[in-house]
Amino acid sequence: MSDASAETSPATTSAFAVLETLVARGLEWVVVCPGARSQALALAAATLEREGALRVVVRIDERSAGFTALGIGSETGRPAAVVTTSGSAVANLHPAVMEAHHAGVPLILLTADRPEELRGIGSNQTTVQEGMFGASVRWMREVSAPEDGVVGAQTAQTVAHGAWSAALGQDPAVPARPGPVHVNLAFREPLSSSHRPRPTVVTMETPTPVKRTALTLERGPRTLVIAGANSGPVAEQVAHEGGWPLVAEVSSGARFGRNLIPHYRAALADTELTDAVERIVLFGHPTLARQVPALIAGRPDINTIVVRSGGEDVNPGHAVTTFTDEVSISSGETDRAWLGAWLRVGAAALSAYEAEQAETSPATRAPDVAAGRSADAASKRAFVAAELAALRTPVTRELLVDAVWRATWPHDRLVIGASRIIRVADRVVPGKKIPVFSNRGLAGIDGTVSTATGISLASGALTRVLVGDITLLHDVGGMWAEPGHPQPRLQIVVANDGGGTIFDSLEVSATADQPDFDRVMLTPQNVNLSALAEAYGFEYQRASTVGELDQALTQPGLRPLLIEVPLER
Ligand SMILES: Cc1ncc(C[n+]2csc(CCOP(=O)(O)OP(=O)(O)O)c2C)c(N)n1
Ligand SMILES: [Mg+2]
C-alpha cells in the first residue's frame, strides 16, 4: 500500500485544517486510535501536540477511546475529538456515542473512511459508515476524499466549525443540547505526507445565538426540587433561593446544602408530604429512585417543570407540563413550614439508619473521646478495644461507600459504576460538595474505567472509581495507559462479590433454577485481581476490614492503585 509520501498530501493538509480549526474553537484533547486510513489525522494530532496546540491520548481499543473522550467532555464541558480508522473500529465508538447522546455530553468523532470508488466492492476494512450512529448523533457530515490541498482545507474548516458548534448545541439548526457529532472523512492515497502544511488561517464567524427558554417562578406553591444525574450545582441554587426541599441523587452534582433532604426515599414514601406537593422542578436525569418517576407520572395535577440538561427530555408518564432551559426565582415569601416538614422526615430517617448501623457495625459508632482521654486505665482499655474492633469490622457495602465518600475531597473526582454500589451510595451518603460522575445516560456497566481515565487526564485530579467486579471486568482494557506519557491518577475500588449480584433482587431469583440463574444472570467470576493489577502496572491492595480500607484509600502512591474489597453476595 502506498501511503506516506514526502510530497504534500491533500489528506495531511485537510487533517491539519480540521484539527487546527477545532483548536481555534477550543479543542484541547484528541483521543487517537491506531490505523492506516486515519494516519493523516493521527500524525497531525501528534505534531500539534508537540507544537503545544493540543493534547493527545492514545488508546488501542476504540470503545475505550470513546469513553475516554466522553470522560473528558463530562469533566470540561467541551468536546474531545476521537480519531479512528475505518471499518469495525468506528462501530466500537457506538456505546460511548449512545451514552453521550442520552447524557448530553459533547463529543466529536473523526472517522477515516475509504473514498467512494472503494466502497461497496468488498474492499478490506470497508463498510457503511455514513449514518452508522443513526439518531444518536446530533449532526453528521460526510467529507469526500480531498483531491486538492486548498479545496480540501476549506471544506475541512467548514466541517470543523459545524462539528464544534453542533457538539456544544450552539448551532441554531440542531437541538440546543450538547451531544455527539460524527464527521466521516474519506482519504485517498497517499494517505499522508511528512510535510507539515502552513498553519491554517482559521476564519472565525460570529455564531448565531441559540434561543434558550427561561421561566421565572414565584416562591409560593409547595415546590419540590429534584436533582437527577448531571443536574449540576444549579439545582441546589434554585432550591436554596426558593426555600424548597431538595431531593438530590448521588451523581447529581447538587447533593449538598441546607435544603438537602437526607435519606430522601423516606420523605418520598411519606404520602402526607407527597400529597401536598403542588409543583416539581426537575433537573438532570433521575434514575436511582423509583419513587421519582412514580410521583410525576402518578400525579398529573402537579405542575412538573423540567429544566433541560442536555440529554433526552425526561417525561415520566408524559405528565410533564413544562420544559424550559433555565429557571429563576422572582418573589414571594419562603414557606419555612414546608421545607421544615421535609427536613424533619429526612432527619428522622437518617437517625434511624445511624442507630441500625451502630447495632450491626461497630465501625460506625462515634468514638468515645472522653474515654480515650480518661486517666482511668479501665476506660482507656475499653476505648482502645472499641477502636480496634471498629478497625477490624468487616467492610459492608454501606461502610464501603461511606469510606470512599469520606476519603474524597472537592479537588478529587469520584466515578461510580452502575449496579448495586451506586444505589447503596444514593441511599446512605450525606451531602458533600464533591464532583461525582456516573454514566447514567444509559446506566451501562461499560466504559467506566475509561470514562474515569478521561476525567482524570482532563482534570489532573486523583480520580476514584468505585465499581462492581463485573463492571470492572467489562472495561479491563481501560486500565491500559501509554507507557512514557502522563498517566491518569486512578484509584479503582472494586466491590468484589463474585458476580452481578444486583440480579439477586429480581423476583425471578426466587423461582428460577438456582444453578441456571447463577450461570446466566449472576455470571460468577473468579478473576485474580491482584494479577490483573500487576499486568496493567497498578499497585494492588486487598481491604476486607474498615481499617485496611481507610488505610488503602488514603495511601499516597505514584502508581495507579486497585483496591479489592471482598463482599458477601
Ligand atoms: C453494557 C451493559 N451490559 C449489561 C448491563 C446489565 N447489567 C446491569 S448490572 C450488571 C451486573 C453488574 O455486576 P457488578 O458490576 O459486579 O455489580 P453488582 O451488581 O454485583 O453490585 C449487568 C450485567 C448493563 N447495565 N450495561
Ligand atoms: Mg458484583
Q: What does pLDDT average to in each consecutive run of 10 residues of the chain (569 residues)?
A: 67 97 98 98 98 98 98 98 98 98 97 93 91 96 92 93 95 86 97 94 85 92 97 97 98 97 98 98 97 96 94 94 94 93 98 92 69 82 84 95 97 97 98 97 97 98 98 98 94 98 96 97 98 97 97 89 97
Residue 317 lies in a domain: yes
Across-strand partners of 416?
466
User: Is ligand 1 within 6 A of the CB of residue 471?
Assistant: yes
DSSP per-residue codes, 151-178 = HHHHHHHHHHHHHHHHHTT--TTS-SS-
CATH code of residue 53 = 3.40.50.970
Residue 272 CB-density burial (10 A; 0-12 exposed, 13-18 middle, 19+ buried):
exposed
Do 8 and 151 fall within a single domain? yes
Residue nearest to atom 10 of ligand 1 (CA): 500
Residue with grid cell 472494586, as numbered in its chain: 494
Residue 262 lies in a domain: yes
User: Is ligand 1 within 6 A of the CB of residue 425?
Assistant: no
- Give the distance (Å) from ligand 2 centre to CA of residue 516: 17
Do 16 and 145 fall within a single domain? yes
Do 379 and 421 fall within a single domain? no
Q: Give me the helix-helix angle, 448-459 and 62-76, nearest 10°.
A: 50
CATH code of residue 238 = 3.40.50.1220
Do 496 and 403 fall within a single domain? yes
pLDDT computed for residue 473 by the predictor: 98
Residue 514 lies in a domain: yes
pLDDT computed for residue 5 by the predictor: 59
Do 462 and 560 fall within a single domain? yes
Do 374 and 459 fall within a single domain? no
Do 24 and 173 fall within a single domain? yes
Do 144 and 30 fall within a single domain? yes
Residue with grid cell 406537593, as numbered in its chain: 277
Do 22 and 118 fall within a single domain? yes
Domain boundary among 352, 374, 390: 390
- Give the distance (Å) from ligand 2 centre to CA of residue 445: 11
- Number of domains present in the structure of the chain: 4
User: Is ligand 1 within 6 A of the CB of residue 419?
Assistant: yes
Do 403 and 455 fall within a single domain? yes
Residue 162 lies in a domain: yes
Domain boundary among 281, 308, 343: 343
Separation between Cα atoms, residue 72 and residue 454, nearest integer Å: 5
Do 126 and 144 fall within a single domain? yes
User: Is ligand 1 within 6 A of the CB of residue 468?
Assistant: yes
Residue 247 lies in a domain: yes
Q: Which domain holds residue 378?
A: 364-390
C-alpha dist (Å) from residue 536 to 29, 399, 468, 527: 24, 28, 19, 14
Do 330 and 379 fall within a single domain? no
Residue 200 lies in a domain: no
pLDDT computed for residue 338 by the predictor: 98
Neighbours of ion ligand 2 (CB under 5 A): 468-469, 497, 501
Counting ligand 1 atoms within 8 A of each CB, the residue from 67, 70, 427, 445 with the most, and so the one to mutate, is: 445
Domain boundary among 193, 224, 239: 193
Copy the grid coordinates of residue 389.
474492633
pLDDT computed for residue 145 by the predictor: 94
